[in-house]
Every structure is written in C-alpha cells, then in structure tokens.
C-alpha cells in the first residue's frame, strides 16, 4: 500500500472507532470521552503554538476559561443556541490571543512562558472580580445540550457525537494549516527565526496569528467543555489546567496533530486511574507515571511508531538513553 | 506508517479496556432504587484527596470510621453501609465526573457528604433531575438549604455560614454593641457567604464593618492584608479563614501588637491544627463558635460519645489524629446519615428523602442543646444553632448558652 | 509618610520570601539550564526533614545542617537518576518531568507527614525594631541579610572559582565543555545539589511565617518565577531584587490604588514584569540571549 492510502485507511478506521465508541460505554464514560475531545482541541491549539511554532505558553487555561465563560454566559443568560456559542467562544478567545500575541512577540522562551503563566494565575481572580457578570464564586450552571427527539440517541451520546464533529473539523483545519505554505512558514520560524526572516517570512505577522489561532482553539475547547460539564466556576480554571495542557502536548508529541488526542486521554484518565490505585498517593502515582512515560517515550506518543521501527531494525543494539530529537530550537529558546 | 496504525490500535485497546460495553440499565423504577439490597446500602462521596485542599480529606476518614462501627454492630436494619469515595482534587469538573461515576458505575443509593461549595453546586442540578439524594454536603454554603423546593434532593449538614455569622453578631450586640469591625476573608464562596451574612445580620445595629481585605486560597501570605486591617483602627477582627491562614492571622495580630476582639470562624478554630502551631499564648481570648464536642477539651474526656468516637476512629484508621476536628465532623455527619437510613420506610431514594426531610435527631457528638432538624420544605437547614467559645489557658471554654439562629 | 514606609518595608519582607526560592530557581538554571517546577516542593520536603530531625530532639542549628546535607545529596541523586536520562533532549520534556516530580514529592510529603499545619521554629529572635516610624521584624531583617550573603557567595562561586566556571560552561554548552575536560555530569549533579540546598534554606527561612505543610511552596513558586524572570533568569542579584520589586509594588498598589484591591494586586507586579521584559527581554540583570543563524 502506498503511504497515502495507509494514512487514509487509518484515518477512516479511527473515525469509525470514534463514532461507534459511545454505543459501547456507560454515559459517564461517554462524558469523559467528550471531555477528552474538548481537551484535545485545546491541546491541538497549544501544539500549533508550541510544537509547530516554538513559542511556549503556560497560560492557555486563560483562553480556555474565556471560551468556556463566553459559551456559558451566552447559553445561560442570552439563551443563544448552544451551537452558535462555539464560534463565538472561538472568536472571543482568538481576539484575546491576538491582542496578547502582539506584545508576546518581544518575548522568548522562558520569559514568554512566565508572562503567559501569569495569565493562568489571574484567570480565577478576574472571574471573581467580574462577579456581577460571571456569577463569581458561586459558579454558573448551564443547561447541557439535549438530544433532539426521534434520532435514537441518549444525551450523553449526542453530546459526544456533537463534540466529535466539532473536534473533527478543528483537526481537519489544523491539518490543512500545517501542511500548506503557512505551515511551512510557521515551522521555519520555529527551526530558525533568522533564516526564516532571510527567506522573506513576515515573522511578526505569522507569530501573532499563530498565537491568536492557538488561543481560538482553546476557546472552542472551552465551549465544548461547557457542553459536557454543564458548570463553570473560578476553581475550574486554575493553573493546573494550563500546566495539564502543556503536559498533554509533550505526552502526545510536540508537533503532532494526532498526538493531541492521546495527550488529552492521558491528562483525563491517568489522574483518575492514579486515584483508584491508591487514594492516599494519587499525586505520587500520577507524577511517577508521567516521569516513567517521558522516560520510555521522550518524544511523546507520536514517536512510538518511529521507535518500534527502529527497535525492529536493530534489535541487538538498543539504546537505553531516550532519543535525542532532531529539533534543538526550542532548547535555544529556553536558554 | 505502520507505527501510526500500531499507535491507534494501542489507543483503541486502551479505550475498550477502560469500559466494558453499554448495558441497558433501568434506574430506580419499581419497588427499590439502585444501590440498596437487603444486605447492603452503597453511599458515595467526592473529596479532595489530592491538591490544595487535601487537609479536608480527614472528613472522609471520620465518616468511614463511623460507618465501620455501624457495620461491626450489624449495620442499619441489617444492611451494611458501603462508602465509596473518589478524589476530585478540589476541581469542579472532576467532582462532576465523580458524581456521574458514583451514580452510574458504583450504583450508589445516595451521594453523601461531597466536599466544597463549588463542587456541590456543580452537581446539584443534575443529581436533582436524576432524583439522586445529595445529602449532608460538607460545606456551609447557604445555597444548599435555602432552596428546598427547587433542589429537594440536596441538603447541607453543618450550620451554614449565614447562621454562623448571625451568632457572631448576636455575641457582639451583647458584648460590644459599638464594635468597629475589620474583616479578613477568603475570596471564594465560603468567605463571601460568611461576610455577607455578617453584614446582613449587623444591619440596623451599631456594629460597623470599617475595613475588609480578601486573600486568595493560593496566596503564600496575608501579612500585607493584616497590616492594613490593623491600621484601620478597628477594635474587632472578624477572621474568615481556612486553617493555614487562620494560623498566620493569629501570629500577625500578635506581631503587629494589635489587640482587637479576635473572632475566628469555626473552620479555623481547631486547637490542634491552628492554635497550637500559632502558639497558644497568641491564642488567648480568641472567640469562636462550635457545635460539636472538642476532642481536646478535658470536659468531654469521659463523655460516652467522645470515647466512642476515639475508639472507633482508632479501629478504622490507626494512624489518624483524633484531635483533628475534621474527623469529628465526618463522624457526626455519618451519624446523621445513618439515622436517616434507619428511619427510611422503604428501600427507595424517595423514601430516604422523606426520612431526611423529617429529621429530628440528637447526634451524640454534637453539643447538648444542638439538634439536627429538618422540616419538609419549610426548613432546609439541619443544624441552626452554635455556641460561643473562648480560648483560655489550654483549651476552648464554652460561653453562655447555645444560640439558636434559625433562618 | 510613616505609613508609606511601613507599606514598603512590609513589601520587602514579603518579597524576600519570593526571592529566597527564586535564588534556587536561578541557581539551577545557571548551572543546568533547567527550569525546575519541582524546586518549591523539594524545598518543602527538605523543610519537613529539618522539622523531623528537630522534632527528634536535635538542636535547631544541627537539624538545619542535617537537612541541608540531605537536600544536597537528594538534589544530586535526583539529577543523576531522574534528570540525567533527559539531558540533551527536548527541553519541554524535561519541564514535564519536573512537573511530575512536583506531584510526586507533594503527595509523598502528604503521605508521610499529613496535610496539617505545623509550626516551624525560627532561627531569628521574635522581636521587632522601629525604623523611620515603621515596624520591622528582626526575622524579616534576618532573611534579607541571609539573602544578601547568599547572593555574594553565588557571585564568588560563579565568577571567582574554577568550579563555578566549569558549572557555567557545562550548562551553556555541554559538548564543548567535555572537549576541554570539564566533567559535565559531575557539574550538573553539583548544580542540582546546590540548588536543592538553597531551596532548603529558602524553606526553613519562610516556614516560620507561612507554617509548614505540603503546600508550603505551592503559592510561592509562581511569585518566585516572576521574581526570577523580572531579575533575569540567570542573575542571583536579579532574583532577590526582582522579589523585592514584586513584594513592594503589589503592596503599594494594593494599599493606595483602590480599584485594584487585594484580589488583583498580583496584576501590578505582572504588569511591571511585562513592561520590563518588553523593554529588556532578558530581565533587569539577565545576560542577553544570542541568536544564532
């Protein structure tokens, strides 16, 4: 089979699995899967920024929260049809990302990471401060989408499939973006900003747009989160969320579109599983699994295939040290 | 490319392993509800076993100790109580998922004592729609008792923060009718509820709030807030804080050489967790409220309920510190729960709610004179009385009578 | 005037708490190029060790020395066992590994010592002095003094000793350092060990004020990151000054600018950082980054 055909076959199979999934699981599992899809959209957006463009953000929880509150307030207070709140959440977060992306241009690596981290830190306080709008500390309960009658779907299945459809669109858009000329410019900046400039790429324009698009993805994810959880509160969007998203892109694989789904699965299910292993040592188990996973697959889930191939090629001489990834730019960005 | 297929296969396998097919389950129709048989009743709760609020995890331990004791004596009406607890790390989305999991997978009969205001609000609407009881939640948010008609399946347990605030105002009216009050409060539902309750109750009196400072539960220190409160010239300090910040506030008052009447809210009033670390010499004269017997008060050393609690906790979790008041709290809430199960006429959720809504109980670990009472839709607050206590010498000393502060 | 001085002095006292941990962050960054999210939790754990030794009846001074020795060894071991396999790889992978360490250490401490507050004895006398009408705790003065001494020692170490030069070289360019005979592995272990020791120092300095529990450093870490960034991530003096600027600015703004209030006072130092970084992208005292084509 040609590579292209394998890829299409894989994609169709994956989509089929994803569509059939909700018919085999309990509603609460489907809710978890929906949440995984929501997170995966945010992870994908963050990956566009970090993995493809080499800018680091520790503050995407802020844009996620912005999208979630946009959607929740439109549904609860303005009775806007919930589907329309998805683009609204995306646009609001996109705009915020654009505004923030302009000054962020000046910052690199660690310093950008810190400034974005501060966004994540102030998000809950801002939500509380504007309590008259956001219902503040009490939180805001939102009616979840309900399945239209006559299509034979339960609510959890409907929400899942709805989320899946939107997530699929977001993934297709991302694929398109990174494969085209824009994608090459985005990655050229990551790999070497000075040469990218020499090639005539408008660095400032590309970078701010990637930041905005990435924030927009987080916003859409926030709206999808509202569909599944049905509740927003300041405590829902703490620094933990932003750091979790970052962990997810690394676990899934930097610069990998499909890795986003695995990263999202990881941050959703591993903490829960860790609690089942030993309630008193939840964090210990989660932390240990995270470190062990990075040890086995430092390139993230997306590098698994590569690794298997390599092991098969030279089964005798196995390198126990995690592989050194080809890219070194992000490191330079950090030092 | 084969790598990608393998990756996908692994993911798919993991998914299948995570659950095992959708079964068409009917919930709650017929004569009995899910989670209850003639031999066993299953309860479930979501607690912060990890994350920033981990200190409260001991509430679950206390409750479990009480249920263990009930089970050792043969259970309630022949039913053993199974108490399933899940970790939510104090994050609402995880509490939502935990509630769903407890109801659908663990098939709990009722949710019991889930912790945190936001976490309980997050699940309140949905569990009421499903008619699953959400009982004796571990928070003093007044929202869980003020709206019985809309949320008939939800109840609190402890005196809510508004009740507590009223008791302080009552005390001030008698002791310091012209009090100028400076308030430190945690910037969340708990702090705002208590502060608002205090300001409402003080309306029309000469008690004035002249300065307010908030802090975030994630802040490292409250020292700058304390300096500002002192400089306000207030003669009374209302301290609405959780244990770590209560201890910091007590030390700050002493260091600043400030001598206000220090009113410390119940959450932060533990001798073991707060006053001892802050130094007992700094704690002299602090006023607070309580509603359960203090395990460190020698007065209760020979009290039957206290002995029962201490031996029960030791048997259930040998490492647990009996002086941790959150253990007492969980123990008392579990006793209320057990009482409701005892009075339930039929093994259904509806019948459980009937029993809960007509609770009129004396919980042995609570102070004499404090009853747990609910009355249909007219009274949704189980405990509405507290007693003022003052720290003197080595322990809290109860002051005056129990103050009834119904809504 | 006296009130203003008091507000500034209080800000410096709080800022010193941020600066103490920021020093450890800076040290580890200078000597290994790692941003260590677990630094605060390591400091917390070390503080618990000091507490445990002291609790067993050992005098405070000896207990602190014991905890410092433990921290140095533990830091070096963590580098060798957990961090080394990731050297030279994707830096973000390493960031995630330190996040994993954060969770792991926090949970382990809670499991061993519980989540309740404990008092931690101060090495300084419990009294205060009055300067220009402002009251200042001897404890805070002591912390400021310790920080200044540490900054001096770090300066001597990195600028005046061969080992400091070797540490900087190992962090900056491991391959070239190996070629000129620097034992890079040893230097990295030394860097982690020293940073853990500094963290332990930060922990025992701030624990008497903040009370010891597994979340001792959770809230401090973000401020310390901010302090380090403001000062320039590779400058020790920058970390301390950065901490002070943050402590003072949030206190002044929280006091005199009414609409900001205690809940959003953190925005002020963050705003300052933002502006400073826009003007000077590598912090107040940091060395500028060299871009290579």
- If we measure between CA atoms, which residue out of C58, C45, C225, C261 comes closest to residue A110? C225
pLDDT digits (tens, 9 = 90+) for C203-241: 999 999 999 999 999 889 989 999 998 988 888 999 999
Tell me the pLDDT of chain B averaged across its residues: 90
| Confidence label for C289 from pLDDT (cuts 50, 70 and 90) | low
CA-CA distances (angstroms) from residue B333 to A66, A77, B159, B339, C158? 38, 36, 12, 10, 59
Tell me the pLDDT of chain A averaged across its residues: 87
A·C CB contacts under 8 A: 158
| DSSP 8-state symbol, B301 | T
Chain A residues whose beta carbon lies within 8 Å of the beta carbon of residue B19: 24-26, 29
Search chain B and give the residue with CA nearest C13. Answer: B223
Q: Nearest-CA distance from B321 to chain C in Å?
A: 10
Q: Which is more confident, A109 or A209?
A: A209
Using the beta-carbon criterion (under 8 Å), do C229 and A114 form an inter-chain contact?
yes
Using the beta-carbon criterion (under 8 Å), do B52 and C215 form an inter-chain contact?
yes
Handedness of CA A204, A210, A213, A219 (dihedral sign): negative
pLDDT digits (tens, 9 = 90+) for C67-117: 999 999 999 999 999 999 988 788 889 999 999 999 999 999 999 999 888
The H-assigned helical ranges of chain A are 3-20, 27-47, 60-78, 82-104, 109-129, 131-134, 155-179, 181-191, 193-198, 203-229, 239-252, 259-277, 282-296, 304-313, 329-334
Search chain C and give the residue with CA nearest A300. Answer: C93
- From the CB of residue B375, how many other CB atoms can be counted at a distance below 10 Å? 13
Residue with tokens 């206390």: B62
Residue with tokens 């022949």: B78
**How far is it, in rounded angstroms, from Cα C164 to Cα A187?**
37
Per the CB < 8 A criterion, the answer to whether C233 and C137 are in contact is no
Chain C residues whose beta carbon lies within 8 Å of the beta carbon of residue A331: 90-91
Percent of chain A's residues with pLDDT above 90: 50
Q: Which is more confident, B306 or C259?
A: B306
Chain C residues whose beta carbon lies within 8 Å of the beta carbon of residue A287: 99-105, 107
Chain A residues whose beta carbon lies within 8 Å of the beta carbon of residue C106: 283
pLDDT digits (tens, 9 = 90+) for B167-197: 999 999 999 999 999 999 999 999 999 999 9
Using the beta-carbon criterion (under 8 Å), do A280 and C111 form an inter-chain contact?
yes
| DSSP 8-state symbol, B379 | B
Question: Tokens standing for B253?
Answer: 């008052």
| Confidence label for A71 from pLDDT (cuts 50, 70 and 90) | very high
**Number of helical H runs and strand E runs in chain B:** 13, 13
**How far is it, in rounded angstroms, from Cα B106 to Cα A246?**
32
Residues in Cβ contact with A99 at an 8 Å cutoff, skipping those fewer than 6 apart: none
| Confidence label for B52 from pLDDT (cuts 50, 70 and 90) | confident
Per the CB < 8 A criterion, the answer to whether B287 and B181 are in contact is no
Using the beta-carbon criterion (under 8 Å), do A138 and B122 form an inter-chain contact?
no
Using the beta-carbon criterion (under 8 Å), do B278 and C7 form an inter-chain contact?
no
Q: Of the candidates C99, C228, C270, which has its C-beta nearest A247's C-beta? A: C99
φ/ψ of residue B366, rounded to 5 = -80, 160
CB burial of residue A128 (10 Å; 0-12, 13-18, 19+):
buried
Residue to substitute from A234, A287, A326, interface C, most C β-carbons within 10 A? A287
Chain B residues whose beta carbon lies within 8 Å of the beta carbon of residue C117: 243-244, 247, 273-274, 277
Question: Tokens standing for C185?
Answer: 């592995």
| Confidence label for A321 from pLDDT (cuts 50, 70 and 90) | very low
Residues in Cβ contact with B9 at an 8 Å cutoff, skipping those fewer than 6 apart: none
Search chain A and give the residue with CA nearest C272. Answer: A115
Per the CB < 8 A criterion, the answer to whether A49 and A214 are in contact is yes
β-strands B134-135, B110-112 pairing:
parallel
Percent of chain B's residues with pLDDT above 90: 79
Percent of chain C's residues with pLDDT above 90: 52
Q: Nearest-CA distance from C34 to chain A in Å?
A: 9
Search chain C and give the residue with CA nearest B218. Answer: C219
pLDDT in the model for residue C232: 86
| Confidence label for A266 from pLDDT (cuts 50, 70 and 90) | very high
**How far is it, in rounded angstroms, from Cα A213 to Cα B50?**
34
Q: Which is more confident, C142 or B31?
A: C142
Chain C residues whose beta carbon lies within 8 Å of the beta carbon of residue A285: 107
- From the CB of residue A225, how many other CB atoms can be counted at a distance below 10 Å? 31
Residue with tokens 């699953």: B132
**How far is it, in rounded angstroms, from Cα C29 to Cα C229?**
11
Using the beta-carbon criterion (under 8 Å), do C82 and A251 form an inter-chain contact?
no
- From the CB of residue B82, how many other CB atoms can be counted at a distance below 10 Å? 16
Q: Does A307 reach chain C within 8 Å, measured CB to CB?
A: no
**How far is it, in rounded angstroms, from Cα A220 to Cα A65?**
10
How much is the average pLDDT of B79-83? 95
- If we measure between CA atoms, which residue out of A96, A329, A116, A211 comes closest to residue C277? A116
pLDDT digits (tens, 9 = 90+) for B218-245: 889 998 899 889 989 999 999 999 999 9
Search chain B and give the residue with CA nearest A276. Answer: B86
Question: Tokens standing for B134?
Answer: 């959400």
**DSSP-derived secondary structure for B303-371:** -HHHHHHHHHHHHH-TT--TT-HHHHHHHHHHHHHHHHHHH-SSSSHHHHHHHHHT-EE--TTBPTT--
| Confidence label for B206 from pLDDT (cuts 50, 70 and 90) | very high
Q: Which is more confident, C270 or A214?
A: A214
Using the beta-carbon criterion (under 8 Å), do A281 and C111 form an inter-chain contact?
yes
Search chain B and give the residue with CA nearest A229. Answer: B93
Q: Nearest-CA distance from A54 to chain B in Å?
A: 24
B·C CB contacts under 8 A: 88
Using the beta-carbon criterion (under 8 Å), do A138 and B6 form an inter-chain contact?
no
The answer to which of B135-144, B236-245, C261-270 has the lowest mean pLDDT is C261-270
CA-CA distances (angstroms) from residue A29 to B7, B8, C145? 21, 19, 56
Q: Nearest-CA distance from B366 to chain C in Å?
A: 23
Using the beta-carbon criterion (under 8 Å), do B93 and A308 form an inter-chain contact?
no
Our measurement of the distance from residue C174's CA atom to the centroid of its chain's CA atoms, rounded to an integer in Å, reads: 24
pTM above 0.80, yes or no: yes
Q: State the angle between helix axes of A109-129 and C267-279 in degrees (0 to 180), rounded to the nearest 10.
A: 150
Question: Tokens standing for B375?
Answer: 């009355």
Using the beta-carbon criterion (under 8 Å), do C209 and B221 form an inter-chain contact?
yes
- If we measure between CA atoms, which residue out of B385, B406, B386, B382 comes closest to residue B396? B386
Per the CB < 8 A criterion, the answer to whether C216 and C202 are in contact is no
Helix (H) or strand (E) holding B44: strand B40-47
Chain A residues whose beta carbon lies within 8 Å of the beta carbon of residue B140: none
Q: Which is more confident, C157 or A132?
A: C157
Using the beta-carbon criterion (under 8 Å), do B223 and C14 form an inter-chain contact?
yes
| End-to-end Cα distance, chain A | 44
ipTM score assigned to the predicted complex? 0.90
| Confidence label for A316 from pLDDT (cuts 50, 70 and 90) | very low
Residue with tokens 């076993």: B49
Question: Tokens standing for B241?
Answer: 């804080």
Search chain A and give the residue with CA nearest B215. Answer: A125
Search chain B and give the residue with CA nearest A231. Answer: B122
Q: Secondary structure of chain C in the HEC alphabet?
A: CHHHHHHHHHHHHHHHHHHHHHHHHHHHHHHHCCCCCCHHHHHHHHHHHHHHHHHCCCCHHHHHHHHHHHHHHHHHHHHHHHHHHHCCCCHHHHHHHHHHHHHHHHHHHHHHHCCCCECCCCCCCCCEEEECCEEEEHHHHHHHHHHHHHHHHHHHHHHHCHHHHHHHHHHHCHHHHHHCCCCHHHHHHHHHHHHHHHHHHHHHHHHHHHCECCCCCHHHHHHHHHHHHHHCCCCHHHHHHHHHHHHHHHHHHHHHCCCCHHHHCCHHHHHHHHHHHHHCCCCCCCCCCCCCC
Per the CB < 8 A criterion, the answer to whether C220 and C15 are in contact is no
**DSSP-derived secondary structure for A71-131:** HHHHHHHH---HHHHHHHHHHHHHHHHHHHHHHHTT--HHHHHHHHHHHHHHHHHHHHHTH
Using the beta-carbon criterion (under 8 Å), do C262 and B231 form an inter-chain contact?
no
- From the CB of residue C123, how many other CB atoms can be counted at a distance below 10 Å? 15
Q: Nearest-CA distance from B20 to chain A in Å?
A: 7
- If we measure between CA atoms, which residue out of B292, B295, B288 comes closest to residue B265? B288
Question: Tokens standing for B361?
Answer: 């109980």
The answer to which of A57-66, A88-97, A297-306, C55-64 has the lowest mean pLDDT is A297-306
Helix (H) or strand (E) holding B128: helix B117-129
Chain C residues whose beta carbon lies within 8 Å of the beta carbon of residue B220: 14, 17-18, 206, 210, 219-220, 223
Q: Of the candidates A31, A141, A279, which has its C-beta nearest B87's C-beta? A: A279
Residue with tokens 């409750």: B63
């Amino acid at each position: 089979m040609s590579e292209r055909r394998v890829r299409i076959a894989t994609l169709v199979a994956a989509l089929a699995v994803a569509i059939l999934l909700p018919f085999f699981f309990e509603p609460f599992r489907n809710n978890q899967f929906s949440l995984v899809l929501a997170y995966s959209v945010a992870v994908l957006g963050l990956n566009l920024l970090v993995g493809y463009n080499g800018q680091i953000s520790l503050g995407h929880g802020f844009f996620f929260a912005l999208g979630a509150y946009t959607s929740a307030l439109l549904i609860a207070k303005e009775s806007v049809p919930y589907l329309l709140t998805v683009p609204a959440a995306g646009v609001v977060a996109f705009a915020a990302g654009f505004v923030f992306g302009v000054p962020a241009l000046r910052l690199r690596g660690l310093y950008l990471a810190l400034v974005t981290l501060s966004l994540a830190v102030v998000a809950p306080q801002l939500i509380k401060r504007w309590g008259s709008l956001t219902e503040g500390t009490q939180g805001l309960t939102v009616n979840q989408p309900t399945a239209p009658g006559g299509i034979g779907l339960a609510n959890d299945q409907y929400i899942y499939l709805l989320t899946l459809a939107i997530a699929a669109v977001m993934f297709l858009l991302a694929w398109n973006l990174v494969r085209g000329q824009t994608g090459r410019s985005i990655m050229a900046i990551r790999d070497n900003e000075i040469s990218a400039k020499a090639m005539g790429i408008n660095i400032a324009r590309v970078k701010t747009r990637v930041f905005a698009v990435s924030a927009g993805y987080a916003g859409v994810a926030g709206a999808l989160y509202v569909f599944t959880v049905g509740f927003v509160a300041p405590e829902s969007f703490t620094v933990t969320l932003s750091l979790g998203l970052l962990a997810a892109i690394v676990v899934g694989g930097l610069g990998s579109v499909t890795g986003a789904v695995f990263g999202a699965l990881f941050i959703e299910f591993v903490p829960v599983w860790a609690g089942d292993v030993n309630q008193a040592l939840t964090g210990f188990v989660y932390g240990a699994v995270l470190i062990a996973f990075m040890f086995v697959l430092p390139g993230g889930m997306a590098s698994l295939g590569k690794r298997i191939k390599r092991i098969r090629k030279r089964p005798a001489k196995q390198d126990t040290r995690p592989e050194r990834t080809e890219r070194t730019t992000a490191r330079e960005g950090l030092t | 490319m084969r790598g990608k297929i393998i990756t996908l296969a692994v993911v798919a396998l993991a998914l299948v392993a995570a659950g095992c097919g959708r079964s068409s389950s009917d919930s709650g129709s017929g004569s009995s509800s899910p989670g209850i048989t003639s031999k066993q009743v299953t309860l479930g709760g979501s607690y912060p076993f990890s994350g920033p609020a981990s200190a409260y995890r001991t509430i679950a331990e206390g409750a479990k100790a009480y249920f263990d004791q009930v089970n050792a004596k043969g259970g309630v009406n022949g039913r053993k109580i199974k108490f399933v607890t899940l970790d939510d790390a104090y994050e609402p989305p995880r509490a939502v998922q935990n509630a769903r999991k407890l109801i659908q997978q663990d098939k709990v009969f009722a949710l019991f004592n889930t912790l945190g205001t936001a976490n309980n609000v997050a699940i309140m609407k949905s569990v009421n729609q499903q008619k699953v009881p959400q009982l004796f939640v571990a928070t003093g948010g007044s929202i869980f008792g003020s709206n019985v008609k809309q949320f008939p399946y939800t109840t609190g347990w402890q005196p809510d923060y508004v009740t507590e605030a009223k008791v302080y105002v009552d005390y001030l009216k008698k002791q310091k009718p012209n009090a100028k009050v400076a308030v430190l409060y945690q910037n969340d539902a708990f702090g705002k509820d208590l502060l608002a309750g205090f300001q409402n109750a003080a309306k029309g009196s000469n008690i004035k709030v002249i300065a307010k400072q908030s802090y975030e539960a994630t802040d490292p220190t409250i020292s700058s807030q304390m300096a500002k409160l002192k400089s306000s010239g207030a003669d009374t300090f209302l301290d609405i804080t959780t244990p770590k910040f209560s201890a910091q506030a007590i030390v700050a008052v002493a260091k600043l050489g400030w001598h206000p009447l220090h009113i410390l809210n119940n959450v932060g009033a533990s001798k073991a967790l707060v006053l001892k670390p802050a130094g007992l010499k700094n704690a002299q004269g602090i006023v607070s409220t309580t509603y359960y017997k203090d395990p460190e008060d020698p007065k209760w050393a020979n009290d039957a309920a206290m002995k029962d609690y201490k031996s029960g906790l030791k048997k259930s979790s040998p490492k647990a510190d009996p002086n941790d008041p959150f253990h007492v709290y969980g123990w008392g809430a579990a006793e209320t729960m057990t009482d409701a199960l005892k009075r339930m006429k039929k093994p259904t959720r509806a019948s459980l709610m009937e029993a809960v809504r007509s609770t009129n109980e004396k919980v042995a670990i609570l102070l004499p004179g404090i009853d747990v009472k609910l009355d249909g839709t007219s009274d949704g607050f189980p405990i509405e009385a507290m007693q003022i206590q003052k720290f003197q010498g080595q322990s809290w000393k109860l002051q005056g009578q129990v103050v009834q502060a119904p809504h | 005037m006296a009130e203003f001085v008091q507000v500034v002095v209080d800000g410096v006292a709080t800022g010193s708490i941020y600066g103490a941990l920021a020093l450890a962050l800076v040290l580890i960054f200078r000597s290994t190029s790692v941003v260590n999210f677990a630094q605060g939790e390591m400091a917390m754990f070390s503080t618990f060790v000091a507490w445990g030794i002291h609790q067993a009846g050992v005098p405070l001074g000896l207990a602190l020395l014991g905890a410092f020795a433990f921290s140095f060894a533990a830091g070096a071991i963590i580098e060798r066992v957990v961090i080394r396999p990731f050297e030279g790889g994707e830096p973000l992978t390493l960031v995630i590994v330190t996040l994993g360490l954060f969770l792991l250490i926090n949970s382990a401490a809670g499991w061993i010592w519980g989540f309740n507050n404990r008092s931690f004895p101060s090495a300084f006398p419990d009294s205060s002095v009055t300067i220009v009408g402002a009251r200042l705790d001897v404890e805070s003065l002591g912390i400021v003094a310790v920080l200044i001494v540490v900054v001096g020692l770090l300066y001597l170490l990195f600028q005046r000793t061969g080992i400091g030069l070797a540490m900087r070289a190992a962090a900056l360019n491991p391959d070239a350092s190996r070629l000129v005979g620097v034992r890079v592995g040893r230097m990295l272990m030394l860097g982690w060990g020293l940073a853990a020791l500094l963290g332990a120092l930060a922990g025992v300095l701030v624990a008497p004020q903040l009370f010891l529990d597994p979340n001792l450093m959770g809230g401090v870490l973000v401020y310390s990151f901010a302090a380090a960034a403001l000062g320039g991530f590779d400058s020790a003096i920058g970390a301390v000054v950065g901490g002070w600027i943050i402590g003072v600015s949030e206190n002044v703004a929280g006091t005199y600018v009414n609409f900001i209030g205690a809940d959003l006072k953190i925005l002020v130092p963050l705003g300052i950082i933002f502006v400073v970084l826009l003007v000077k992208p590598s912090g107040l005292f940091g060395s500028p980054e060299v871009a290579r084509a």
